C-alpha cells in the first residue's frame, strides 16, 4: 500500500496511469493545488516533467518486452519511481490555493474519474454480462439511444413525458420493448389481487349466469345470486343477461359497463386534476368489482388466470397483497378470511402443477387502513391464524388505502409493535407528495417497526437519514412508477425519485401495483418506462438484470427457496446438482445469463431467447419477434431442438 498522506492506495505494479489513479482520489478530496507559491509551482512542474520521462521509459520497456503483458524487474522499478514522484507532487500540492478546476480541465482523466465513480454507485454497476449478453446489450442500447436521442431533439415527441393513458397502446411498437417484454423479470413483489387483470377480462365475467346488476347514479352494483339479492339497491336488481338483452345496442351497453372496471379515460389531465379526484374513481372501481369477484368459483378462476398473466409476462414468482374478501356461494353462504387464504393456496398449487416452471406465490394480508385500533387488532389476530395454518404460504402483513386520508401507522403503533416479532411487515409508506405530513412520517414508523420492504416510499427522497437507514438495513423499496404517475403523484416519470435511488444504489424492486386498472401487463410496462424515462440514457441491460435479481433477494422466500430460485437462474437442472459456473464470484457476477428456469424442468426462457436474437440476422426483427413468440408460447425445447438451433450459423453482421 502507498501512503500519499491523504489516502492509502493499493499499488498495482503495472498500472500505466498510477499518477491518475492516485491524484483522482487525493485531489478530488482536497480540491485545490498551490500554484501561487513559486516553490510550489516549481515542485509540481518538476514532478510532472519527471513523470513524463518515467512514462516514456516505461512505454519503451513494454514495447521491447519479449512477451505481451510480461513484467520485468525494470518495469516494476519504474512504476515504483512513478509512485514516488506522484507522492512528492501531491505533498507539494497540499497547501492548495488555486481552484481545483484549473487542474481538472488540464487533466481530462479527472473528469472521467468523477463520472466513473458516480456511475459505480448505481444499481447494476456491479453486474457482469456474458459475451452473449454484451452482444444483446449492444442491440438494446442502439435502440434505446435512437429513441431517447429523438426525444432530446424533439421533446414533444418523447411519449413517456406525457400521461401514460396517451401512450400505453404505443409501447408495443417500441423496438426496445421487444426485448423488455421477452426478458425474465424475476419476482413481482407488490401487486393487489383484484387489480391484476384488466377491464376486458372483467367484462367477460358479466356474461356468466346468475349475475345480478343494480344501476344507480351512473354506477353499478354486481353480485352473483341464485335469486334476487336482498342487499340494498336504490333502484332495482335485475339479471345482467336481461339488462343486456333489453339494451338497444349490446356493444354500447358493454362499452358503458366496461368503464366501471377501469380508470382509463381520454382526458385524464382535465378530469383527474388532483390526487383525491383520481383516488375516488380508483376506489370506486374496487367497490364495483369486489362483490362480483368474491363469488368463490369466480375468485378461484380469476386468481388462476391472474397467475397465468403474471407468468406470461415472464415473472416466475409473486407475492400478492389481498384484503382477503369474504368469499360467498350462490345461496349466500359466506366464508371467513382464512377460507379465502386457503383458496389462494389451493389455486397456487394447481397452477404450479399445470406450469412446473412457475416457482410459486405467497400471500401478504393487506386490509384497509381507514379503521380504528380495535379493527387493526382483529386484523393482526387473523394474520396470526393464517400464519399458523399455512406458514409456508403466508408472507406477511400490510395496511392499504390512500395514505393522505387514512390513519397513519403511528395510530396503531402499540398493536403493530405487539406483533413485530411474529409477522413480517411490508408496509405501504410515503406514497404522498407531501413532506413531514403524517403519510410521509409513516416512513419513520415503518422502518422502526422493522418493515422488510416499503411500498412506494415516494417521499423518501426528502428524508436523507431515512434513505441511509433503508440502505443500511437492506429494506427493499417497492417502486411503482406507473402507479405513481397515474394516481397523481407526478406527471413526467423522468422526475420520479427512483432516478436518484438508482443513482445511489438503493435496494429497489419494480412493482406493478394495480396494472389491470390502467390496462397494463403485470410488470413489462413498468420495466419499459423505467428503462426509457427514469434511468440514465447510458443505463443498460445490467440495470434490468440487477432489478430482476433484487426481486429475488428482497422477496419473502426463505433461504432455501431463494437458493432454489438461484439454482434455477444459474441453470442447474436439479436441486441436488449444486455445481456452479467456474466464473462464480457472488450472485451478481455468477449469473452468466439471466435465464430463469424451473428447478427440475429444463426451461430456457432467457438464454434461448437471447440466442435467437444473436443467431439470426438482427436486422430482420420480424423474424426474431416471431421466433421469440413461438418459443415463449411453449416455454420449453427438447434436446433435439436445442442441438438443431445451436447449429444455425451466426450472422456475420
For residue 579, pLDDT beyond 90: no
Exposed / middle / buried, residue 207 (Cβ in 10 Å: 0-12, 13-18, 19+): exposed
Catalytic residue among 178, 431, 525, 616: 431
Q: Distance between CA atoms of 348 and 359, rounded to whole angstroms? A: 10
Q: Contact at 8 Å (CB) between 294 and 285?
A: no
The grid coordinates listed for 16 are 500505466
Tell me what the mean pLDDT of segment 326-336 comes to. Answer: 96
Tell me what the mean pLDDT of segment 526-555 comes to. Answer: 97
The grid coordinates listed for 208 are 356468466
pLDDT per residue as tens digits for the range 214-251: 999 889 999 999 999 988 888 899 999 999 999 999 99
Tell me what the mean pLDDT of segment 131-147 comes to. Answer: 95
The grid coordinates listed for 126 are 456491479
Residues 6 or more apart whose CB falls under 8 angstroms from that of 116 comprise none
Tell me what the mean pLDDT of segment 517-545 comes to. Answer: 97
Q: Contact at 8 Å (CB) between 651 and 621?
A: no
Any idea what DSSP says for residue 530? I
Q: Distance between CA atoms of 294 and 289, rounded to whole angstroms? A: 9
For residue 420, pLDDT beyond 80: yes
**Which residue's entry shows cell 452468466?**
592
With b meaning 16 or more CB within 10 Å and e meaning fewer, what string describes 331-365?
A: eeeebebeebbbbbbebbeebbeebebbbbbbbbb
For residue 369, pLDDT beyond 80: yes
Is 456 tagged catalytic? yes
Q: Which of 34-38, 261-265, 456-460, 541-545 has the least mean pLDDT?
A: 34-38
Q: Distance between CA atoms of 22 and 26, rounded to whole angstroms? A: 6
With b meaning 16 or more CB within 10 Å and e meaning fewer, what string describes 399-417?
A: bbbbbbebbbbebbeebbe
Q: Which of 89-98, 123-132, 179-188, 502-511 has the least mean pLDDT?
A: 89-98
Q: Distance between CA atoms of 624 and 611, rounded to whole angstroms? A: 10
The grid coordinates listed for 56 are 516514456
More confident call, 311 vs 2: 311
Q: Which helix (H) or strand (E) holds 479?
A: strand 476-479
Residue 321 banded pLDDT, cuts 50, 70, 90: very high
> For position 644, what pLDDT does the model report?
36
pLDDT per residue as tens digits for the range 62-103: 566 555 444 556 655 655 555 555 544 444 444 444 444 555
C-alpha closest to that of 490 among 467, 525, 523, 461: 461
Q: Distance between CA atoms of 548 and 594, rounded to whole angstroms? A: 9
Residue 584 banded pLDDT, cuts 50, 70, 90: very low
Query: Three-state SS for 313?
Result: coil
Q: Contact at 8 Å (CB) between 520 and 512?
A: yes
Q: For the structural domain made of 122-198+282-566, what CATH number should be given? A: 3.20.20.140
Any idea what DSSP says for residue 532? I
Q: Distance between CA atoms of 468 and 579, rounded to whole angstroms? A: 37
C-alpha closest to that of 256 among 243, 267, 269, 268: 243
C-alpha closest to that of 321 among 429, 491, 471, 188: 188
For residue 146, pLDDT beyond 70: yes
Tell me what the mean pLDDT of segment 305-327 comes to. Answer: 98
Is 31 tagged catalytic? no
The grid coordinates listed for 375 are 379493527
> For position 410, what pLDDT does the model report?
96
Q: Distance between CA atoms of 583 and 589, rounded to whole angstroms? A: 8
C-alpha closest to that of 269 among 162, 170, 169: 162
Going from N- to C-terminal start, the domains of the chain cover: 2-119, 122-198+282-566, 199-261
Please give the mean pLDDT across all residues of the chain. Answer: 81
Q: Contact at 8 Å (CB) between 307 and 348?
A: yes
Q: Distance between CA atoms of 288 and 223, rounded to whole angstroms? A: 9
Q: Global pTM?
A: 0.75
> For position 39, what pLDDT does the model report?
52
Q: Contact at 8 Å (CB) between 519 and 168?
A: yes
> For position 230, what pLDDT does the model report?
86
Q: Distance between CA atoms of 310 and 357, rounded to whole angstroms? A: 13
Catalytic residue among 192, 456, 539, 616: 456
pLDDT per residue as tens digits for the range 32-67: 344 444 554 555 555 556 656 666 766 666 566 555
Any idea what DSSP says for residue 12? P
> For position 78, what pLDDT does the model report?
56
Q: Distance between CA atoms of 324 and 530, rounded to whole angstroms? A: 31
Q: What is the CA radius of gyration of the chain?
A: 29
- CB atoms under 10 Å from CB of 309, counted, come to 17
Q: Distance between CA atoms of 168 and 268, rounded to whole angstroms? A: 13
Q: Distance between CA atoms of 392 and 362, rounded to whole angstroms? A: 8
> For position 588, what pLDDT does the model report?
33
Report the share of the chain in percent with pLDDT over 70: 70
The grid coordinates listed for 483 are 402507479
Q: Distance between CA atoms of 504 and 289, rounded to whole angstroms? A: 40
pLDDT per residue as tens digits for the range 472-488: 999 999 999 999 999 99
For residue 542, pLDDT beyond 80: yes
State the pairing for strand pair 453-456/476-479.
Answer: parallel
For residue 325, pLDDT beyond 60: yes
For residue 7, pLDDT beyond 50: no
Amino acid at each position: 500500500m502507498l501512503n500519499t498522506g491523504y489516502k492509502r492506495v493499493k499499488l498495482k505494479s503495472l498500472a500505466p496511469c498510477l499518477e491518475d489513479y492516485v491524484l483522482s482520489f487525493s485531489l478530488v478530496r482536497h480540491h485545490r493545488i498551490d500554484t501561487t507559491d513559486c516553490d510550489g509551482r516549481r515542485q509540481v512542474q518538476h514532478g510532472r516533467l519527471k513523470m513524463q520521462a518515467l512514462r516514456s521509459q516505461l512505454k519503451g520497456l513494454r514495447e521491447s518486452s519479449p512477451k505481451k503483458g510480461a513484467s520485468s524487474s525494470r518495469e516494476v522499478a519504474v512504476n515504483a519511481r512513478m509512485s514516488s514522484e506522484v507522492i512528492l507532487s501531491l505533498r507539494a500540492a497540499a497547501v492548495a490555493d488555486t481552484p481545483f478546476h484549473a487542474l481538472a480541465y488540464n487533466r481530462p482523466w479527472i473528469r472521467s474519474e468523477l463520472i466513473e465513480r458516480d456511475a459505480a454507485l448505481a444499481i447494476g454497476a456491479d453486474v457482469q454480462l456474458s459475451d452473449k449478453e454484451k452482444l444483446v446489450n449492444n442491440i438494446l442500447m442502439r435502440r434505446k439511444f435512437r429513441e431517447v436521442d429523438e426525444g432530446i431533439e424533439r421533446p414533444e415527441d418523447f411519449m413517456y413525458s406525457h400521461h401514460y393513458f396517451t401512450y400505453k397502446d404505443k409501447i408495443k411498437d417500441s423496438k426496445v420493448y421487444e426485448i423488455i417484454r421477452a426478458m425474465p423479470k424475476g419476482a413481482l413483489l407488490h401487486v393487489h389481487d383484484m387489480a391484476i387483470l384488466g377491464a376486458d377480462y372483467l367484462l367477460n365475467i358479466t356474461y356468466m349466469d346468475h349475475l345480478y346488476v343494480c344501476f344507480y347514479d351512473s354506477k353499478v352494483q354486481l353480485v352473483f345470486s341464485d335469486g334476487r339479492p336482498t342487499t340494498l339497491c336504490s333502484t332495482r336488481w335485475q339479471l345482467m343477461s336481461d339488462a343486456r338483452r333489453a339494451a338497444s345496442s349490446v356493444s354500447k351497453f358493454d362499452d358503458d359497463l366496461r368503464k366501471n372496471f377501469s380508470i382509463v379515460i381520454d382526458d385524464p389531465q382535465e378530469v383527474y386534476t388532483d390526487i383525491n379526484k383520481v383516488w375516488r374513481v380508483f376506489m370506486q372501481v374496487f367497490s364495483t368489482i369486489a362483490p362480483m369477484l368474491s363469488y368463490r368459483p369466480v375468485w378461484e378462476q380469476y386468481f388462476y388466470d391472474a397467475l397465468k398473466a403474471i407468468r406470461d409476462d415472464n415473472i416466475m414468482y409473486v407475492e400478492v397483497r389481498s384484503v382477503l374478501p369474504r368469499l360467498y356461494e350462490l345461496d349466500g353462504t359466506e366464508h371467513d378470511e382464512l377460507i379465502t387464504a386457503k383458496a389462494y393456496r389451493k389455486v397456487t398449487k394447481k397452477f404450479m402443477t399445470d406450469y412446473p416452471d412457475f416457482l410459486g406465490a405467497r400471500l401478504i394480508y393487506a386490509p384497509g387502513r381507514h379503521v380504528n385500533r380495535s379493527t387493526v387488532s382483529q386484523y393482526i389476530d387473523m394474520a396470526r391464524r393464517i400464519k399458523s395454518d399455512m406458514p409456508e404460504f403466508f408472507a406477511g402483513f400490510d395496511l392499504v388505502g390512500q395514505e393522505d386520508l387514512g390513519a397513519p401507522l403511528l395510530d396503531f403503533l402499540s398493536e403493530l409493535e405487539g406483533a413485530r416479532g411474529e409477522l413480517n411487515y411490508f408496509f405501504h409508506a410515503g406514497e404522498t407528495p407531501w413532506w413531514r405530513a403524517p403519510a410521509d412520517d409513516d416512513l419513520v414508523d415503518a422502518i422502526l417497526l422493522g418493515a422488510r420492504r416499503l411500498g412506494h416510499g415516494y417521499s423518501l427522497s426528502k428524508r436523507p437519514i431515512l434513505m441511509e437507514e433503508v440502505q443500511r438495513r437492506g429494506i427493499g423499496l417497492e417502486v411503482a412508477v406507473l402507479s405513481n404517475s397515474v394516481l397523481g403523484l407526478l406527471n413526467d416519470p423522468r422526475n420520479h425519485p427512483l432516478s436518484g435511488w438508482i443513482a445511489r444504489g438503493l435496494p429497489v424492486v419494480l412493482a406493478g401495483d394495480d396494472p389491470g386498472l390502467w390496462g397494463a401487463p403485470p410488470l413489462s410496462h413498468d420495466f419499459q418506462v423505467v428503462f426509457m424515462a427514469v434511468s440514465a440514457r447510458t443505463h443498460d441491460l445490467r440495470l434490468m438484470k440487477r432489478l430482476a435479481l433484487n426481486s429475488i433477494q428482497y422477496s419473502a422466500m426463505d433461504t432455501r427457496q431463494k437458493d432454489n430460485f438461484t439454482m434455477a437462474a444459474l441453470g442447474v437442472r436439479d436441486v441436488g446438482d449444486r455445481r456452479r459456473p467456474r466464473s462464480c464470484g457472488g450472485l451478481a457476477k455468477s449469473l452468466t445469463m439471466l435465464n430463469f428456469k424451473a428447478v427440475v424442468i429444463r426451461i430456457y426462457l432467457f438464454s434461448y431467447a437471447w440466442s435467437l436474437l444473436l443467431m439470426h440476422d438482427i436486422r430482420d426483427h420480424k423474424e426474431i419477434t416471431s421466433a421469440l413468440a413461438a418459443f415463449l408460447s411453449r416455454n420449453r425445447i427438447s434436446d433435439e431442438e436445442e442441438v438443431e438451433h445451436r447449429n444455425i450459423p451466426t450472422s456475420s453482421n
